[in-house]
Amino acid sequence: MSNQGYDEELRDERAYIAGLYARLDREREQARARYRAALGETGIALVDRDADVRIRAREATRLNAVDNGLCFGRLDTLSGERGYIGRIGLFDGENDYEPLLLDWRAPAARPFYVATAASPENMRRRRQFHSVGRRVTGFTDEVFGRPGAGERGDAALLAAVTAPRGEGMRDIVATIQAEQDEIIRLGHAGVLVVEGGPGTGKTAVALHRVAYLLYTQRERMSRTGVLVVGPSPLFLDHIGRVLPSLGESDVVFATTGDLVPGLRVTAEDAPEVARLKGSSKMVGVLAAAVADRQRVPDEPVPVELADVTVDLDRGVAAEARLEARRSGLPHNEARAVFREHVVALLAERAVAKIGEGWLTPADRGAWADLRADVREELAEHEQLDAVLDGLWPELTPETLLAPLYMSPRRLAAAGADPALFRADGGAWTVSDVPLLDELVDLLGRDDAADRTAARRRAAEAAEYSAGVLDVLKLDREEMDEDVLLSAENLLYAEDLADRFGERDTRDLAERAAADRDWTYGHVVVDEAQELSEMDWRVLVRRCPSRSFTIVGDLAQRRSAAGATSWAAMLAPYAGDRWQYRELTVNYRTPAEIMTVAGALLARFAPDARPPESVRASGVRPWSRQVADGELPDAIADFTRDEDGREGTAVVIGPPGVPGAVPPSATKGLEFDAVLVVEPERILAEGPRGAAELYVALTRATQRLGVLHREPLPAVLSGLADRYAVSRPQE
């Protein structure tokens, strides 16, 4: 295309895309009007109006989130038709069937991602727009079937992967690659495992798959929602903004530690303890620990009735316990069976004693009356109640697990490893969460749990009401003063709290996150290699339909309780009915850095293949040896250097290094510049030290430096000496 031809086309494209923005603005205006109307609505139940307000607010947010690069591509078919591809679909106002812009998830948009010279899918040309905000700055074309064409014209991809990273992850809708697109749109409804080395876009692909499922299965997903599980709050924050920008909000983000609502994790387990707690052997331990709380008395306990005293002895308790266990009910529900049998057995003893001497077997009616009287007396017997509470106590997961940890005797009785002992039973760790969740099912409901739930609901109701008022305040600038006033008058907090009890109008994500018994339509598990057998049991309970997208990399595993094989981890739930896909191209780490990380990988995981970097940066990663006292200054040098550059930076090091975060805290994250401090100590820290160092080295999108005090570990010999290379990008 000549320059002049290009300029003309660019003008035309700008005009078309300006038309799209005009259409978007009209839709926004309409959405805002609907929102205002919903706020001011009268004559319908307030509760319906709340729901309406929420839907309208969401609609407005969705339209706001697509402003940057609304339209990023164009596809021309062989027969000359054009389709513009964008973050959402837009239709001609007059004619609803005439798409002005195709949603990237629509089937018709698929060739945009997968057409290649070898398989052009009836396409003649793919055009990619480059834009800054609303301004189209240029475009690149690939024309299929032309000699010499063939590779994807990946100017857009290279620009995207080279750009400095800002806060949080961005969507990749404009540059999804064919191997990624295949996974995003995969029709498989069951368990899908996506494995790939660092930076291969596993997280990006999983999130785009969620957006795709929400688009194609809107009805089902908007009833059930999607759960996204990630390794840390920092990570969830990093990825949290990707989905809204894709236009979705029926999604709950959680770490495995968040999966029991209301529980706070305050402590950390040693790796060995985490391994023990993560093993599915704990299911047996917990069942035994519950059984251990179902006791028989050591000595007979006398139970005084009005006319006679009977003994609750081992025999009575053991028989009642057997019956209660045989009922197959969870502990708290089986308690009623236990009680019933104790009462029946004691009543027989009492009746026999009382009737002895003056009633004969023929006095049937008198026996029956006596039995009824005694049973009634036993049923309301406070002393018996107290004894039964001791023998078969009502338990919550917390009141079972905390005393178990604190008692070597109880641990031994449950067949648990003595290493599980801890002095503060209630100092919960993330590895306790799946155990507590398991116990909810083993123990069943009890009054105390119901009371706690009621209290929680009341607290949530108040919080929810306050939240609605906050939303109103936030939107103040956008609202007419009179509308705002009437809305505030109508939506005062107590009123909202009252109505909350009648009908729940919270967002799906809010309701789901607060409800331990919620079942999701789909679950995404990121960094899935870290999850233990016990964690998987929780997740399967949350998604009985077993619709999972699982992404991870066994080589990056840190947790001693994590997966060493997907097949072994998934066998109990999916047998061999799960699909596996691999991603092989690294979009994050430049080739120079990946070479160094790859050498390390070859040492600790010789069977794993390092991903291939999509680009080289021309900057060699460096190392520098520092004397003991020099470390803080050397770190400060790096930070100062990076402060002057665009993008993000991090210092990663073992505990105790000032200003450094441990490798585990950077899981799944990325930074433009990474300084790894004392790799020799990271390597030496535990059996997974090499995997931790591998994670640390592969966080960089542009620059990597390493500071060491001991001699540089041989496996990092690919690094250039800091002073032998020019300072990066100088």
Ligand X SMILES: Nc1ncnc2c1ncn2[C@@H]1O[C@H](COP(=O)(O)OP(=O)(O)OP(=O)(O)O)[C@@H](O)[C@H]1O
Using the minimum distance from each CB to ligand X, give the nearer residue, 507 or 670.
670
DSSP H helices, 504-590, are 508-514, 533-542, 566-574
Q: Site mask, ligand X, residues 549-588, x = CB under 6 A?
A: ----x---------------------------------xx
SS3 category, 393: coil
Residues 191-230 that bind ligand X (CB under 6 A): 196, 198-204
Using the minimum distance from each CB to ligand X, give the nearer residue, 175 or 465.
175
Q: Are 378 and 305 in contact (CB under 8 A)?
A: yes
128, 175, 332, 559: which one binds ligand X (CB under 6 A): 175
Smallest distance from the beta carbon of 218 to ligand X, in angstroms?
25
Smallest distance from the beta carbon of 561 to ligand X, in angstroms?
19
Q: Which stretch binds ligand X (CB under 6 A): 14-22, 67-75, 173-181, 511-519?
A: 173-181
**CA–CA distance, 35 with 484 (Å, rounded to integer):** 12
Smallest distance from the beta carbon of 695 to ligand X, in angstroms?
7
Smallest distance from the beta carbon of 44 to ligand X, in angstroms?
44
641-680 residues labelled b (16+ CB within 10 A) or e (exposed): bbeeeeebbbbbbbeebeebbbbbebbbbbbbbbbbbbbb
- Binding region: 196-203
Using the minimum distance from each CB to ligand X, give the nearer residue, 199 or 663.
199
**CA–CA distance, 629 with 503 (Å, rounded to integer):** 64
Smallest distance from the beta carbon of 672 to ligand X, in angstroms?
11
Residues 681-710 that bind ligand X (CB under 6 A): 698
Q: Total binding residues for ligand X by CB under 6 A?
A: 24
Closest to 600 (Cα-Cα) out of 710, 708, 696: 696
Residue 150 CB: number of other CB atoms within 10 A? 13
Residues 306-345 that bind ligand X (CB under 6 A): none
Q: Check residue 243 for interaction with ligand X (CB under 6 A).
A: no
Q: Site mask, ligand X, residues 129-168, x = CB under 6 A?
A: ----------------------------x--xx-------
Using the minimum distance from each CB to ligand X, give the nearer residue, 446 or 692.
692
Closest to 208 (Cα-Cα) out of 549, 611, 547, 566: 549
Give whole-number Cα distances, 223 to 214, 511, 546, in Å: 11, 11, 16
Q: Which stretch binds ligand X (CB under 6 A): 92-100, 176-184, 317-325, 601-609?
A: 176-184
21-39 residues labelled b (16+ CB within 10 A) or e (exposed): eebbeebbeebbebbbebb
Q: Which two tokens stand for residue 176?
A: 């999804």
**CA–CA distance, 487 with 123 (Å, rounded to integer):** 52
Smallest distance from the beta carbon of 689 to ligand X, in angstroms?
18
Using the minimum distance from each CB to ligand X, give the nearer residue, 588 or 722.
588
Closest to 240 (Cα-Cα) out of 171, 181, 165: 171
Smallest distance from the beta carbon of 177 to ligand X, in angstroms?
5
Pairing verdict, β 622-625 and 720-721: parallel
SS3 category, 506: coil
Count of residues in the chain: 730
**Type of residue at 272:** E
Q: Site mask, ligand X, residues 504-543, x = CB under 6 A?
A: ----------------------------------------
Instruction: Give every CB contact of residue 221 below 8 A, 6+ residues apart in sequence.
Output: 213, 214, 250, 521, 522
Q: Check residue 176 for interaction with ligand X (CB under 6 A).
A: yes
60, 123, 172, 449: which one binds ligand X (CB under 6 A): 172
Smallest distance from the beta carbon of 200 to ligand X, in angstroms?
4
Smallest distance from the beta carbon of 128 to ligand X, in angstroms?
11
83 bridge partner residues = 75
Smallest distance from the beta carbon of 654 to ligand X, in angstroms?
20
Any idea which residue has 């967002």 for tokens?
507
Q: Are 282 and 534 in contact (CB under 8 A)?
A: yes
Angle at which helix 46-64 crosses helix 493-502, to 10 degrees, equals 100
Using the minimum distance from each CB to ligand X, give the nearer residue, 249 or 698.
698
Residue 268 CB: number of other CB atoms within 10 A? 12
Q: Site mask, ligand X, residues 650-679, x = CB under 6 A?
A: ------------------x-x---------
Residues 582-621 that bind ligand X (CB under 6 A): 587-588
Using the minimum distance from each CB to ligand X, give the nearer residue, 199 or 610.
199
Using the minimum distance from each CB to ligand X, give the nearer residue, 226 or 400.
226
- Binding region for ATP: 196-203
Phi, psi (5° rounding) for residue 170? -105, 165
End-to-end CA distance of the chain: 37
Q: Which stretch binds ligand X (CB under 6 A): 120-128, 169-177, 628-636, 674-682?
A: 169-177
Smallest distance from the beta carbon of 527 to ligand X, in angstroms?
7
Q: Which stretch binds ligand X (CB under 6 A): 12-20, 175-183, 314-322, 412-420?
A: 175-183
**CA–CA distance, 446 with 331 (Å, rounded to integer):** 9
Q: Which stretch binds ligand X (CB under 6 A): 174-182, 459-467, 542-550, 708-716?
A: 174-182
Using the minimum distance from each CB to ligand X, give the nearer residue, 65 or 436.
65
Strand (E) or helix (H) holding 447: helix 447-474
Q: Which residue is nearest to ligand X (CB)?
A: 201
Site for ligand X, rule CB under 6 A: 157, 160-161, 169-170, 172, 175-177, 180, 196, 198-204, 553, 587-588, 668, 670, 698
